Amino acid sequence: MNLPRVRLSAGNEEIDVYVASNQEERSMGLMFRKEMPPDEGMLFLCDEPAVQKFWMKDTPLPLSIAFIDEDGTISKIDDMEPETLDSHSSGKPVRYVLEVNQGWFASKGIRPGMRLVGPVFIAAATAQDRS
Protein backbone atom coordinates (compact mmCIF):
# COMPACT_ATOMS: atom_id res chain seq x y z
CA MET A 1 0.00 0.00 0.00
CA ASN A 2 1.26 3.39 -0.94
CA LEU A 3 -0.53 5.33 1.81
CA PRO A 4 0.81 7.60 4.53
CA ARG A 5 1.26 6.00 7.95
CA VAL A 6 0.88 7.33 11.48
CA ARG A 7 1.38 5.85 14.93
CA LEU A 8 -1.56 5.86 17.33
CA SER A 9 -1.58 5.00 21.00
CA ALA A 10 -4.09 4.07 23.65
CA GLY A 11 -2.50 4.06 27.08
CA ASN A 12 0.72 2.06 26.74
CA GLU A 13 -0.37 0.32 23.53
CA GLU A 14 0.74 1.54 20.10
CA ILE A 15 -0.27 0.68 16.57
CA ASP A 16 1.04 1.76 13.17
CA VAL A 17 -1.76 2.52 10.74
CA TYR A 18 -2.13 3.28 7.07
CA VAL A 19 -4.27 6.39 6.57
CA ALA A 20 -7.07 6.24 3.98
CA SER A 21 -8.15 9.84 3.54
CA ASN A 22 -9.98 10.05 0.22
CA GLN A 23 -12.97 8.18 -1.23
CA GLU A 24 -10.87 5.89 -3.45
CA GLU A 25 -8.57 4.86 -0.57
CA ARG A 26 -11.50 4.36 1.81
CA SER A 27 -13.38 2.25 -0.75
CA MET A 28 -10.38 -0.04 -1.26
CA GLY A 29 -9.54 -0.30 2.44
CA LEU A 30 -8.02 -3.67 3.31
CA MET A 31 -9.74 -5.53 0.47
CA PHE A 32 -7.83 -8.53 -0.88
CA ARG A 33 -5.22 -8.33 1.88
CA LYS A 34 -4.50 -11.83 3.22
CA GLU A 35 -2.32 -10.95 6.20
CA MET A 36 -1.39 -8.02 8.37
CA PRO A 37 1.30 -7.68 11.06
CA PRO A 38 -0.03 -7.85 14.65
CA ASP A 39 0.29 -4.14 15.54
CA GLU A 40 -0.76 -2.66 12.22
CA GLY A 41 -4.10 -1.43 10.88
CA MET A 42 -5.90 1.10 8.72
CA LEU A 43 -7.40 4.39 9.82
CA PHE A 44 -10.20 5.79 7.68
CA LEU A 45 -10.48 9.60 7.80
CA CYS A 46 -14.01 10.49 6.78
CA ASP A 47 -14.76 13.90 5.29
CA GLU A 48 -17.11 14.86 8.11
CA PRO A 49 -18.80 13.20 11.08
CA ALA A 50 -21.58 10.89 9.90
CA VAL A 51 -23.01 7.45 10.66
CA GLN A 52 -20.37 5.18 9.12
CA LYS A 53 -21.18 1.71 7.75
CA PHE A 54 -18.54 -0.88 6.81
CA TRP A 55 -18.65 -4.40 5.40
CA MET A 56 -16.12 -7.11 4.53
CA LYS A 57 -16.77 -7.85 0.84
CA ASP A 58 -13.53 -9.12 -0.75
CA THR A 59 -11.67 -8.85 2.58
CA PRO A 60 -10.22 -12.25 3.58
CA LEU A 61 -8.89 -11.11 7.00
CA PRO A 62 -11.03 -11.26 10.15
CA LEU A 63 -10.97 -7.71 11.51
CA SER A 64 -12.07 -5.69 14.51
CA ILE A 65 -13.39 -2.20 13.85
CA ALA A 66 -13.51 0.84 16.12
CA PHE A 67 -15.70 3.84 15.42
CA ILE A 68 -13.98 6.95 16.75
CA ASP A 69 -15.14 10.47 17.61
CA GLU A 70 -13.25 13.56 16.40
CA ASP A 71 -11.27 13.82 19.66
CA GLY A 72 -10.07 10.19 19.39
CA THR A 73 -12.59 8.67 21.81
CA ILE A 74 -13.70 5.18 20.80
CA SER A 75 -17.49 5.05 20.68
CA LYS A 76 -17.96 1.45 19.50
CA ILE A 77 -15.91 -1.68 18.74
CA ASP A 78 -17.17 -4.63 16.70
CA ASP A 79 -15.72 -7.82 15.20
CA MET A 80 -16.18 -8.44 11.48
CA GLU A 81 -16.03 -11.79 9.72
CA PRO A 82 -14.17 -12.17 6.40
CA GLU A 83 -15.90 -12.06 3.02
CA THR A 84 -19.32 -11.04 4.38
CA LEU A 85 -21.82 -8.37 3.40
CA ASP A 86 -22.95 -7.84 7.01
CA SER A 87 -23.12 -4.12 7.70
CA HIS A 88 -21.31 -2.79 10.78
CA SER A 89 -22.57 0.66 11.74
CA SER A 90 -21.19 3.30 14.06
CA GLY A 91 -24.77 3.97 15.19
CA LYS A 92 -23.93 7.65 15.66
CA PRO A 93 -21.93 10.21 13.70
CA VAL A 94 -18.15 9.64 13.89
CA ARG A 95 -15.23 11.01 11.90
CA TYR A 96 -12.73 8.13 12.10
CA VAL A 97 -12.80 4.36 11.74
CA LEU A 98 -9.94 2.03 12.66
CA GLU A 99 -9.62 -1.55 11.37
CA VAL A 100 -7.16 -3.95 13.00
CA ASN A 101 -6.64 -7.70 13.20
CA GLN A 102 -9.62 -9.29 14.92
CA GLY A 103 -9.14 -9.45 18.68
CA TRP A 104 -6.46 -6.73 18.84
CA PHE A 105 -8.58 -4.32 20.91
CA ALA A 106 -9.67 -7.06 23.33
CA SER A 107 -6.13 -8.42 23.75
CA LYS A 108 -4.85 -4.92 24.61
CA GLY A 109 -7.72 -4.09 26.98
CA ILE A 110 -8.92 -1.28 24.71
CA ARG A 111 -12.66 -0.64 24.89
CA PRO A 112 -15.26 2.03 24.11
CA GLY A 113 -14.79 5.23 26.07
CA MET A 114 -10.99 5.05 25.85
CA ARG A 115 -9.19 7.65 23.80
CA LEU A 116 -6.69 7.09 21.01
CA VAL A 117 -3.90 9.63 20.68
CA GLY A 118 -2.18 10.54 17.42
CA PRO A 119 -1.49 13.39 15.04
CA VAL A 120 -4.87 13.17 13.27
CA PHE A 121 -6.76 13.53 16.56
CA ILE A 122 -4.53 16.35 17.78
CA ALA A 123 -5.33 18.31 14.61
CA ALA A 124 -9.05 17.73 15.12
CA ALA A 125 -8.91 18.63 18.82
CA THR A 126 -6.93 21.82 18.07
CA ALA A 127 -9.41 22.90 15.38
CA GLN A 128 -12.27 22.15 17.77
CA ASP A 129 -10.63 24.20 20.55
CA ARG A 130 -10.34 27.21 18.21
CA SER A 131 -14.06 27.28 17.44
Burial of 103-115, coded b for 16+ CB within 10 Å and e otherwise, reads ebbeebebeeebe
Question: What number does CATH give the domain 5-130?
Answer: 2.60.120.1140
Q: What percent of the chain has pLDDT over 90?
A: 86
Mean pLDDT value across residues 107-130: 80
* pLDDT for the residue numbered 122: 65
At 2, is the pLDDT very low, low, confident or very high (cuts 50, 70, 90)? confident
Q: Is the dihedral of CA 14, 84, 73, 106 positive or negative?
A: negative
> Residues 31-36: contacts with CB within 8 Å, 24+ apart?
31/57, 31/58, 31/59, 32/58, 32/59, 32/60, 33/59, 33/60, 33/61, 34/60, 34/61, 35/61, 36/61, 36/100, 36/101
> Does 129 have pLDDT greater than 60?
no
The model's pLDDT over 12-33, given as tens digits with 9 standing for 90+, comes to 999 999 999 999 999 999 999 9
- At 83, the pLDDT band (50, 70, 90 cuts) reads very high
Smallest CA-to-CA distance from 55 within 35, 81, 18 is with 81
**Mean pLDDT over each residue of the chain, to the nearest integer:** 92
Question: Looking at residue 23, what is its pLDDT?
Answer: 92
56 pLDDT above the threshold of 80: yes
Please work out, in degrees rounded to the nearest 5, the angle formed at the alpha carbon of residue 12 by the alpha carbons of 10 and 17.
50
Q: Is the pLDDT of residue 9 over 60?
A: yes
Query: Whole-model pTM?
Result: 0.91
**Mean pLDDT (whole number) for 58-65:** 96
Cα(33)–Cα(31) distance, rounded to whole angstroms?
A: 5
